[in-house]
Structure 1
């Protein structure tokens, strides 16, 4: 098992399945340009080898989240910046429907800042 797979398999169900589904959708959204690496022990998604977003778990909110690079330029009510300078996070409530359309839209916005 590679390190990225190990990261996901340490997460309990049903969170694991949700994050794996989200991972798949992010990678499929731009198969030619979005890649996945493990940085700082976390799955990072890169667009043309530049930071795009990553998954992590918030101890404060006790929820997984997607953190978006160039988040300081994104203007969506659902995003939290707190003390971050370049990133904003979107909490993923596993009890609700996954906001897949919003996540993919935010990825498109971040990609526009990278170009």
Structure 2
């Protein structure tokens, strides 16, 4: 198993299936330009070899989140900066419907920065 697969399969449900679903949707949203790497112990998504976003867990909020590079240039009320310089995060509530359209729209906004 490669490190990316190991990362996801170490997660407990419902986080595992939720993040795997998001991973698939992100990768399929732009198959030519979005790739996946494993950096800093986390799955990173890159757009044309430049940072796009990644998944992580917030100990403060006790939720997983998607962190968007150049999030500082995106204004959306659901994005949190919390002292980060270049990134903003979107918390993922496993008990609610995923805001998939919002996530894909935010990814498109980051891609426009490039």
Any runs of at least 4 consecutive aligned residues in structure 1 with deviations exceeding 2 A, and if so which? none
**TM-score, with structure 1 as normaliser:** 0.98
Q: Tell me the secondary structure at the aligned position of residue 53 of structure 1.
A: strand
**Aligned pairs, number:** 114
Q: Which runs of 5 or more residues in structure 2 are unaligned?
A: none
- Residues 12-27 of structure 1: matches in 2 within 5 Å? 12-27=12-27
Distance 1:79 1:11 in 2: 24
RMSD: 0.4
Q: Which runs of 5 or more residues in structure 1 are unaligned?
A: none
In structure 2, the partner of 1:45 is 45
Cα displacement string for residues 43-88 of structure 1 (whole angstroms, at most 9, x for unaligned residues): 0000000000000000000000000000000100000001100000
In structure 2, the partner of 1:5 is 5
Q: Tell me the secondary structure at the aligned position of residue 78 of structure 2.
A: coil
